Amino acid sequence: MPGNSPAPRDPVTRHPQPEFPQQEQSPPGWTEPMEPRPDHGEDSYKGSGVLQGRKTVITGGDSGIGRAVALAFAREGADVLFTFLPAEEEDAAETTRLVTEAGRKAVSIACDIREEEQCRLLIDRAVREFGRIDVLVNNAAYQMSQPDGIQAITTEQFDRVLRTNLYGMFWLCKMALPHIPRGGSLINSTSVQAYKPSPHLLDYAMTKGAIVNFTQGLAQMVASDGIRVNAVAPGPVWTPLIPATMPDTTTFGRQSPLGRPAQPAEMAPAYVFLASPQASYITAEIVNATGGTPLP
């Protein structure tokens, strides 16, 4: 009946706004110490079965956007295999709990996607567990702010950023595709940085631009196989990567037109939609979730 549905929520005030407490963590960062605590949809995401029976793989599923996507996929009826770094085991256990509580199978794998052989073992494990891969979400990423310019970006940092953000994605797509049936999909995480690079994130922004290009090229390559390839481009999102890699957390996200960073829970619906049958005619697309920052 009219009038019985909940009133719309103001997107400006729906989630915490800066200023946040100044906080620092060592990479890769953890959820528990963060203030405010990130919202992954634990109390808000309600599934409707649009991914019932799907077999999904998510990199970086222990926290942040990856955890929110894992939770949403599970509540939509999907089984979830996700990766984490060994230092993130505590966060990974919480993601496992959320997926399991949704009644779906959860498989957590310690995996460094910078290594080709670990990527191969990951896909082999997914196929053993599930028999196929319906959805691969390339979400794991690394950044490190360098406000002192290009001279401060060491070869070690440059290599870590590229191998995490690009090499791992490339290897996993290549290895997973033989196991993705018609109707399956790949979803990559790019960023507002792909279009509006911040100088202090020069190498990270470069990789995110490459992900846009890769997504659109691969989508055309595999379209005739009935496989869709898309990406989500978040704006600023409140995840453990922020206190672990950014020198100032107090005003993080204030630059967006909505005046705050997104919570991970606000990103998950875009991934659900792109993985769902409702997006059957959508491929080579970038879904921008930037809080109002205009993108091409």
Q: Is 9 part of a structural domain of the chain?
A: no
Please identify which of the residues 45, 195, 204, 271 carries the catalytic annotation.
204
- Report pLDDT for 8: 86
- Examine the residue annotation and report whether 204 is marked as an active-site residue of this protein: yes
3-state secondary structure of 94: helix
Q: Is 23 part of a structural domain of the chain?
A: no
Q: Is 14 part of a structural domain of the chain?
A: no
Q: Is 4 part of a structural domain of the chain?
A: no
Segments forming the whole domain that contains residue 135: 55-289
99: CATH: 3.40.50.720
Q: Is 99 left (phi over 0), alpha (psi -120 to 50) or beta?
A: alpha
Task: Supply the mean pLDDT for the chain.
Answer: 96
Q: Is 37 part of a structural domain of the chain?
A: no
- Give tens-digit pLDDT for 180-239: 999 999 999 999 999 999 999 999 999 999 999 999 999 999 999 999 999 999 999 999
Q: Is 193 part of a structural domain of the chain?
A: yes
- Give tens-digit pLDDT for 96-154: 999 999 999 999 999 999 999 999 999 999 999 999 999 999 999 999 999 999 999 99
Q: Is 177 part of a structural domain of the chain?
A: yes
Give me the number of domains the chain comprises: 1
Q: Is 44 part of a structural domain of the chain?
A: no
CA angle 263/267/271 to nearest 5° reads 160
- Report pLDDT for 1: 41
CB 275 within 8 A of CB 283: no
Burial class of residue 2 (count of CB atoms within 10 Å of its CB; 0-12, 13-18, 19+): exposed
